[in-house]
Structure 1
Amino acid sequence: MNLYSFSVKKPITILMITLVILIVGIVSLTRIPLDLLPKIEIPIAVVSTSYKGAGPQEIEKLVTKPIEGAVATVGSVKNVKSISMDGNSLVVIEFNFGTNMDFANLEMREKIDLVKGYLPREVSNPMVVKVDPNALPILQLAFYSDEDLGKLQSQVMEIIKPRIERIEGVASVAVTGGNEKEVAIVVNEGELERYGLSMDRITQTIGAENLNLPGGQVHSGGKKLTVKTSGEFSSIEQIKALPIPLVTGGVIHLEDIAQISLEDKEINTISRINGKDGINMSIQKQSGANTVRVSEEINKELNEILKEYPSLEMEIVLDQAKYIKDSIINVFKNALMGAAFAIIVLYIFLRDLKTTLIISVSIPVSIVATFILLYFRNITFNVMTLGGMALGVGMLVDNSIVVLENIYRMSEGGEPSDTAAIEGAKEVSMAVIASTLTTIVVFLPMVFVRGFTATIFKELAYTVVFSLLISLLVSLTLIPMLSSRSLRKKKKIERKDIFYKFYGKVEKEYKNILDWALRHKGWTVCIAVLIFIFTLTPLFLIGGEFFPPIDEGVFVVNISLPQGSSFKDINEVLGRLEGEIGNIEEVDTVFSTIGAGSLVSTSSSSTNSNKGSITVILKPLNERNKSTFQVADEVRNIKKDIAGADISVDVSSELMGGLGGDPVNISIKGDDLDTLKGIGEDFKEIVKTVPGTREVKSNYEDGIPEVKIVLHRDMASQFGLSTYQVANSVRGNLSGVVASKYKYEGSEIDIVVKKEGSKDETIQGLKSLNIPTPLGSSVPLLEIADIQVEKGPVNIYRENQSRVVSVTSQIYDRDMESTIEDIEAKLKDYHMPRGYSYSFEGQHKQLVKAYRDLTLVLILAVVFVFIILASQFESFIYPFIIILSVPLSFSGAALFLLLSGKSLSVPAIVGGIVLAGIVVNNAIVLVDYINTLRKNGMEKDEAVRKAGPTRLRPILMTTLTTVLGLLPLAIRRGEGSEIQSPMAIAVIGGLILSTLLTLVLEPVLYIMFDNLRNRNN
């Protein structure tokens, strides 16, 4: 008993199996987590080391180079990059994709251990850390209160932060902003000299008195009692009354020589949202934890906290989970709309509700069964898996259409329902199996692709393949069974409605075109070749990019003032920008920070007081008319009015992991830093002249101006002074010294000892600063040291053990490939010094690799399709005829990408790969039916003329269901749609053009090649 007979004769069994699949699939659906993208594991590790007091050149020579040399010998290393900076070394090691990072980390530690003995003794123990690309903050919160900002900060730190940290899946919680309290002890310099005291003496006395120390144990009544000496300050009054012993033998109190008060610390960080000061909380999830689930748990806890503390005000500034859910819902809506379009097409053609429902059942069964795969393979619901479902939703009914249409045709011909169901399915079984296998097999070569591209699209491939296999099984079992019960013996009905009149005209016109083509075979082939060449031309006009820009509704404005600028200066610039940005209609939230990272990147801002960032969050897509990129460009025009500030706008996608870096990234390699700096500045000016470039900058930074104190050791030793004593004295006079801690409202705050007027010291005042000596006298700093103002050290970047300077740029309103070509053309005329070279890195390098890998995948896909066809037809001629429809589809994809304004990107190329498996389906159905008619005794020409019109309806139906199923994905605007849109457009364009040409060209080629074979025989 074959499969078709079993399904028809055992209907209850088939229904029960289907029911079990549906139940397990629905249960699996409830257990699958949501995420924006498949989990991205980037094989990168970082070795960090510190060497306090050493400049970048010393760090490079003594620390970075030895570590680079050690880790470069580790297996599977792809690139070694490093940054040598003041007091720190950072070595970044990139491995080949697929490397086991746990073993790689162990091997790196072993190699580093071998060179530890050669590092300076003062160098810290090198720390090896595996980089997690998913470690960006998933939630940003802003807290407000009518109470004191310092008290609010204490509340956030002591109550809210610990409760959030306890939630499963939370890795870390960072709090910025607010005012910290300190106990300020401002010492009168005149009083110090009068009593013969020093700042060190005051600091030591406070530290020695503010202690609770254990004293051992004593026996009392047979018991052991713990002894503790308690001396911690419990009030400000105790600090004021602290006795200070004098050298002369007397005692004074601290308040006699100093002003003691509880005050706010000097502000060096700020968090402000929509112009209001507040406390910012940044929450990161653990590696492997699901963003949406962790966010939901955090929000539940926050609601409980707000109920317990009604005076607190909180605003969720940024929630990655919301964007993820919006993206998933948008793709899900597109899939549902596509399924609805496919069902409408079926009904229009069949005009039978029962028949339409029979075919339509393959969509929910196939999709629900796919949920089982996702659950057991631990795959999340993301834009790629749902995109795969949306991509396949139109194809899921293709097999069922072919099977049911054949059963329907036999039933109208007078066959009994059971016979029509069995024989109808049997007659087209080879065609539907071959067409399904050709679609599936194009995804097999994806296993040869490594890197970001494979990570993103592998789950899409799993989804499409599994859903199509289920749809094939449904078409050969459930569809014949339902048909045998529903399609009782039918008489052919002559339909006279508008659609069938129109379809009758289309069929008649097709017959005329086919007759003409068969009479003029040479002309037909020439016309097809000309159409192919004409439509393929746009491929060279549309340009290329790695991935389409993603409109996440967030961008960052980074502000940098000249070195040495004050906190007040940067705060004024930020305030001005905040006001102008907030007036833009599309802007929802403006979040400003100084001395902390931006909301969407931990590296966008520095802790320097001359740098800050503004995170701009836009309204949802459906509430604004401008894209993120347009609003960002509007902000770029605003910044032109602010002189003296270096302002850049970053619109890179953080949720996509940066997509391989900046669109334009020119890496200049050489030895001399000054030469590299000069080349970098030249390249910056050249890149700026290329249309479409934005935010052109070099990573070379001049050092920070600093005052350097060079001690005359011989002279200082005569006064009994060491470098440590002088440095402590200078620090105490300028910024104060933390002497101890004071418990205040449940937390510990600093007790800071400083001199009057320490905040307003000038360089001249520094030179005349009196340094107390151990003998009780003092000496001016100028007498024992030279005071110099010079530029501090710069960061030194290295790549593969060579110094490097990078020039980067963003792109606006242009594709990346054409922009890079224009830059390359201008750089060819630049004379590079001997020993210096440059290369394009970042997204361009990723794009070149993706093109190379996906071209291999495409070639292998076509070869695999040919192998499947050859094994099905037991011939090389017919598969060759069918495979000629593939290049026709590529030209259609190129034409539609040009018309839609899309560039050739990785998603579009993946669409081309999918096309290679889809477009042959129509040709398979056509050629297979021609062969069936010939086996039944029909002449070749007659068989060709009959097969075309007979298979016209199922071919049009399968094409339209696939095209309309993808149409919402191609044209709808919504969160996350940028990734799938080029892929859907490529498939639609290729399928439409190849179908039109297939219906005419394939019959012509069939006869031509068959005649050629007969002549050769």
Structure 2
Amino acid sequence: MSLSELCIRRPVFATVLSLLLVIFGLVALERLPLREYPDINRPVVSITTSYRGASANVVENKVTQVIEDRIAGIEGIVKLESDSADERSSIRVEFDVSRDIDDAANDIRDRISRVVSQLPPEADPPQVAKSDSNAESIMFLSFSAENMTSLQVTDYAERYIIDRLSTVPGVSRASMSGARRAAMRVWIDRQALAARALTVGDIESALRRENVQLPAGRIESEQREFSLRTEVGLDSAEDFRNLVIGRGPEGHLVRLGEVAEVRIAAENDRTLMRTNGLAGVGIGIEANSKANVLDVVHGVREEVDRLQKTLPKGATLMVTVDNGVAIEAALREVLIAVIFAFISVLIVIYGFLGTLRTTIIPAITIPVSVIAGFMFVYALDYSLNVITLLGVVLAIGLVVDDSIVVLENIHRRAELDEPSMVAAIRGSREIAFAVIATTLTLVTVFVPISFLPGDNGRLFREFGLTLAASVLLSALVALTLTPMMASRLPPEREMKHGRFAKWIESFFKKMTAAYEVRLRQLMRRPWLIVGGVLGLGFLGALSFRALPSEFMPAADAGRVMVTLTAPEGASFEYTSEYGRRLEAIAQSGLDSGEVRRVTLRVPGSYDGTGAVNSARLILTLEDWGARERSAQEIAASFQRELAGLPGVRANTMVPGGMRGGWGKPVEAVLGGPDYESLAAWSEKLTKLAEDNPGLTGVDSSYKPRKPQIRIAIDRNRAADLGVSLQTVGRTLETMLGSRIVTTFIDRGREYNVVLQGRADERATTTDLTNLMVRSDRTGELVPLASVVRLNETAGATELSRFNRLRSVEIGAGLAEGYTMGEAIKWFEDTVARELPPEATLMWDGESGDYVRSGGQMWTTLLFAVIIVFLVLAAQFESFVHPAIIMVTVPLALLGAVFGLQLHGMSVNIFSQIAVIMLIGIAAKNGVLIVEFANQLRER
């Protein structure tokens, strides 16, 4: 007894089986996390090494390159990039998504432990940290207050907002940008210090020595015990001013207030954050990698609503960027597509079958198959996202096929006046092999998609396996629930057909007759069929070559970003002024109602550690229905307004892609033997790229013209005077930069104590040489000018490496109508034509994803064709029948090409996946025709 016959004879068994599938599917659906896209975060391990006093060149040669050479052979490394700056080496190692981040970090620590002895003795031990390659904030908030200073705004946000938001379930981190955190600032008066025969080291030593809290034991009585603590810590600016730091030449005590200005001020005052013209701080919310993003967004929104009620008068807390809005909109659109697809399928089925009772069967079997598929999604630890829901939309059209094939065959036998039970048993038995064959054909197409390597494999694994699971379950339902329900239908002669059903039936009979006539005519002229197919193939090839290509189609996430770059060496004030000009230009968008908020950050990096000659303006747009133009159109219009802005470079871009982020779409990386050659090559390529109208915002990462003052220490002279290099380095760092030497407590929070020279005493090169240091041999003060030489130069402050090659990155945006494929081809042709063979062109970011996905996808396409052919050969026990079936595949691909051409669409990662799907769909139709033809021959 076959499975179908068992279910026909035992209807309760078939019903319970389907109900269990639905129940388990609904439970799994309720527990699935919601995301916009699948989690494709790569494990990333960063290695940071400090080498005090070393230039970028020395750091690159003696630290970065040594570490890279040692760790390069670790399994699973996808990308190895590094930046070497003065006194600092940063290496970022990106691993394949399948690599466990803990194992990867342990491997790196093991390799580094063997190389520490090869690093310079002055270099600190390398620090290894794990991170997420896509640790992007899902929300940004802005907090400002009219009646607070910038220090008070930062302090309030840190004490009362950050902590509350950090406790929202699913939030991994809440961080501030534009913050001016309070610190005890000690601005040293060089002349006053020298007059008292003291040095910077004396101040630092006194602060470290005196600002402590010490336990002093305990007092015990018969019934009570007291712990003793000696309070010698410094808590206020007055305490610090009264701190004795040493004795002057006459033997009198010298207090810190005599040689320095001491007060509470911003630890970093070179940062700016403004929202709609109002200064404040920004707050970024990051979600845990496994958290339900929409749950986190909703939790943060609710917490913000509660915080609004506790804010002081004049304070404002607003959400400036909310990725949840775009995610909700995307999921909503896909859910609408699911419902629309389901209704459309039912209408088509009713049109073909002609009766409402028969239509009810697929109306039940489709949801059963789709809902049950969520069991597999949950079991495989996937999420509910745009990609899996896209699989559901397509599954509706695919899973209905099995039920329709079985139902139509039963319906055909019922029209021959067979009883419902007999028609169901014979009809399902007759079509069982074809259903199984077509199901296996589709599964063998979808499963290879998940074998794609790297990000694409991870991305579409959820898509392919969701579809495969739904198709397998649809075959099960089609051979169990469908024949059971069909056997309970009244005989065909007792079913009443309405006028519309009769008209539909008559229409299809006429179509069938006309098709038969045309088919007989064409079969007598096979050369005409072959010629037509070849002609269509030629036209399709021409159309395909004309199609634009890109990694992903442009998306409107409701945001536009403007990056501003001032000349090298520009001050914070210079950049801030131009940032305010950008705000003024963006005001027109606010006035027109297309822009909701304008957020300005200086420096451009979120954490405020970037170069002060960079700024970033973020335009948060109104909802899609409230504006007439897309984000791309608004960005293009804004770019035209920026064309007349002198003194800076400003470029607009629209964030997008599955990774999110704000990087430029084209990231070409030039590799070469040395930075001198790379500087010349990148400058030439950048100029040529700027002349290409299809590329916008062209910029190079190599900045060789930043003004620098090189300090050369006369080691022999320093040794003769008894001055250590460490003393020179610490003095320069403290007086000209800033140095955190200790901390103090204020209302339960710990703040830094920062030493620095007065602003008017670190403005010229003369100020550098007028500093005094103490001789370790004689104890006397020695002018710094006697042991150092100053040279003004212009050079690169940061040297990059990419996959162990010295490199320079050239980033660019894409003009409207210019595709990623065209940009990549232009770069490849230009590098081959204009640069020497030693120049190596590599790709990073979205352009790197595009290059890697192209070859992988077409390899997968070929793999899918071969697998389908072999599966069909095994099923039919013949190589001839599968060959006949596979002839239909190229025709289906031609339809896809003509469809893309007709609608002005591009070849991208989605259309490539659709092409792979077409192989299964086309083969499925061929299987049905060949199987029925074989059965008719046997009869």
State if a TM-score over 0.5 links the two structures.
yes
Secondary structure at 1:486 match in 2: coil
Secondary structure at 2:138 match in 1: strand
Alpha-carbon distance in structure 2 between the residues aligned to 1:397 and 1:476: 12
Alpha-carbon distance in structure 1 between the residues aligned to 2:31 and 2:18: 20
Secondary structure at 1:395 match in 2: helix
Partner of 1:747 in structure 2?
749
Partner AA of 2:889 in structure 1: V
Partner of 2:822 in structure 1?
818
Partner AA of 1:591 in structure 2: T
Partner of 1:150 in structure 2?
151
Aligned partner (choices 490, 493, 507) of residue 487 of structure 1: 490
Alpha-carbon distance in structure 1 between the residues aligned to 2:146 and 2:376: 53
User: Is 1:33 paired with 2:33?
Assistant: yes
Partner AA of 2:892 in structure 1: S
Contact 1:735 1:758 in 2 (8 A): no
Deviation at 1:315, TM superposition (A): 1.1
User: Is 1:646 paired with 2:656?
Assistant: no
Partner of 2:106 in structure 1?
106
Partner of 1:977 in structure 2?
none
Alpha-carbon distance in structure 2 between the residues aligned to 1:217 and 1:930: 99
The one-character-per-residue Cα deviations of 1:910-931 (angstroms, maximum 9, x if unpaired) are 2111111111233333333333
Aligned partner (choices 685, 695, 710) of residue 687 of structure 2: 685
Partner of 2:533 in structure 1?
528
Contact 2:44 2:133 in 1 (8 A): no
Identify which range, 398-407 or 222-231, moves more after superposition.
222-231
Secondary structure at 2:398 match in 1: coil
Partner of 1:607 in structure 2?
610
User: Is 1:860 paired with 2:863?
Assistant: yes
Deviation at 1:577, TM superposition (A): 0.7
For these two proteins, the number of residue pairs brought into alignment is 929
Partner of 1:290 in structure 2?
292
Contact 2:707 2:792 in 1 (8 A): yes
Alpha-carbon distance in structure 2 between the residues aligned to 1:303 and 1:145: 17
Partner of 2:381 in structure 1?
378
Alpha-carbon distance in structure 1 between the residues aligned to 2:316 and 2:539: 63
Aligned partner (choices 480, 486, 511) of residue 516 of structure 2: 511
Partner AA of 2:519 in structure 1: L
Alpha-carbon distance in structure 2 between the residues aligned to 1:431 and 1:717: 91
Aligned partner (choices 829, 833, 841) of residue 833 of structure 2: 829
Contact 1:42 1:131 in 2 (8 A): no
Please list, as runs of the form range in 1=range in 2, the aligned pairs for 1:26-105 lying within 5 A after superposition. 26-42=26-42, 44-77=44-77, 80-95=80-95, 98-105=98-105
Please list, as runs of the form range in 1=range in 2, the aligned pairs for 1:878-893 lying within 5 A after superposition. 878-893=881-896
User: Is 1:581 paired with 2:586?
Assistant: yes
Secondary structure at 2:361 match in 1: helix
What TM-score, normalized by structure 2, do the two folds share?
Answer: 0.90
Partner AA of 2:174 in structure 1: V
Partner of 1:161 in structure 2?
162
Contact 1:554 1:615 in 2 (8 A): yes
Partner of 1:395 in structure 2?
398
Alpha-carbon distance in structure 2 between the residues aligned to 1:220 and 1:904: 84
Please list, as runs of the form range in 1=range in 2, the aligned pairs for 1:199-218 lying within 5 A after superposition. 210-216=211-217
Alpha-carbon distance in structure 2 between the residues aligned to 1:515 and 1:489: 31
Across the aligned residues of Structure 1 and Structure 2, the Cα RMSD in angstroms comes to 3.5
Please list, as runs of the form range in 1=range in 2, the aligned pairs for 1:556-571 lying within 5 A after superposition. 556-571=561-576
Deviation at 1:588, TM superposition (A): 2.4
- The percentage of aligned residue pairs carrying the same residue is 28
Aligned partner (choices 467, 471, 475) of residue 472 of structure 1: 475
User: Is 1:594 paired with 2:597?
Assistant: no
Contact 2:869 2:886 in 1 (8 A): yes
The one-character-per-residue Cα deviations of 1:598-656 (angstroms, maximum 9, x if unpaired) are 4xxx7xx7533222212222233333333333322223223222212132334353642
Partner of 2:4 in structure 1?
4
Identify which range, 325-334 or 887-896, moves more after superposition.
325-334
Alpha-carbon distance in structure 2 between the residues aligned to 1:188 and 1:100: 53
Identify which range, 618-627 or 409-418, moves more after superposition.
618-627
Alpha-carbon distance in structure 1 between the residues aligned to 2:727 and 2:832: 57
User: Is 1:430 paired with 2:438?
Assistant: no
Deviation at 1:28, TM superposition (A): 1.8
What TM-score, normalized by structure 1, do the two folds share?
Answer: 0.83
Secondary structure at 1:271 match in 2: strand
Alpha-carbon distance in structure 2 between the residues aligned to 1:415 and 1:56: 88
1:494/1:135 CA distance change after superposition, 3 Å: closer
Partner of 2:624 in structure 1?
621
Deviation at 1:878, TM superposition (A): 3.0
Alpha-carbon distance in structure 2 between the residues aligned to 1:253 and 1:108: 49
Partner AA of 1:26 in structure 2: L
Contact 2:452 2:856 in 1 (8 A): yes
Contact 2:33 2:291 in 1 (8 A): no
The one-character-per-residue Cα deviations of 1:286-331 (angstroms, maximum 9, x if unpaired) are 3433333333444444444444446453212223333323222221
Contact 1:182 1:264 in 2 (8 A): yes
Partner AA of 1:704 in structure 2: K
Partner of 1:137 in structure 2?
137
Alpha-carbon distance in structure 2 between the residues aligned to 1:510 and 1:252: 107
1:555/1:606 CA distance change after superposition, 3 Å: farther
Aligned partner (choices 673, 676, 690) of residue 678 of structure 2: 676
Alpha-carbon distance in structure 1 between the residues aligned to 2:739 and 2:103: 45
User: Is 1:177 paired with 2:178?
Assistant: yes
The one-character-per-residue Cα deviations of 1:691-716 (angstroms, maximum 9, x if unpaired) are 42122222211153233444556777
1:829/1:415 CA distance change after superposition, 3 Å: same
Partner AA of 1:819 in structure 2: A
The one-character-per-residue Cα deviations of 1:78-134 (angstroms, maximum 9, x if unpaired) are 554433222222334455564455444333333322222111122222233445223
Contact 1:47 1:90 in 2 (8 A): yes
Identify which range, 783-792 or 410-419, moves more after superposition.
783-792
Please list, as runs of the form range in 1=range in 2, the aligned pairs for 1:278-427 lying within 5 A after superposition. 278-309=280-311, 311=313, 312-427=315-430
Please list, as runs of the form range in 1=range in 2, the aligned pairs for 1:543-942 lying within 5 A after superposition. 543-584=548-589, 585=592, 586-595=594-603, 597-598=605-606, 606-653=609-656, 655-656=658-659, 663-702=665-704, 704-710=706-712, 741-749=743-751, 758=760, 761-764=763-766, 766=768, 782=785, 785-791=788-794, 793-812=796-815, 813-830=817-834, 832=836, 835-839=838-842, 843=846, 846-936=849-939
Deviation at 1:784, TM superposition (A): 5.7
Partner AA of 1:449 in structure 2: L
Alpha-carbon distance in structure 2 between the residues aligned to 1:499 and 1:769: 97
Deviation at 1:370, TM superposition (A): 1.0
User: Is 1:542 paired with 2:547?
Assistant: yes
Alpha-carbon distance in structure 1 between the residues aligned to 2:68 and 2:188: 49
Secondary structure at 2:367 match in 1: helix
Deviation at 1:573, TM superposition (A): 0.8
Contact 2:354 2:505 in 1 (8 A): no
Alpha-carbon distance in structure 2 between the residues aligned to 1:537 and 1:627: 31
Alpha-carbon distance in structure 1 between the residues aligned to 2:124 and 2:843: 35
Contact 1:169 1:286 in 2 (8 A): yes
The one-character-per-residue Cα deviations of 1:393-450 (angstroms, maximum 9, x if unpaired) are 1122112222222222222332211112222222222222222221122123335421
Gap regions ≥5 residues in structure 1:
937-1017
Alpha-carbon distance in structure 1 between the residues aligned to 2:876 and 2:158: 72
Contact 1:74 1:107 in 2 (8 A): yes
The one-character-per-residue Cα deviations of 1:878-923 (angstroms, maximum 9, x if unpaired) are 3322221111101111111111112222221221111111112333
Deviation at 1:678, TM superposition (A): 0.7
Alpha-carbon distance in structure 2 between the residues aligned to 1:271 and 1:779: 43
Alpha-carbon distance in structure 2 between the residues aligned to 1:104 and 1:718: 49
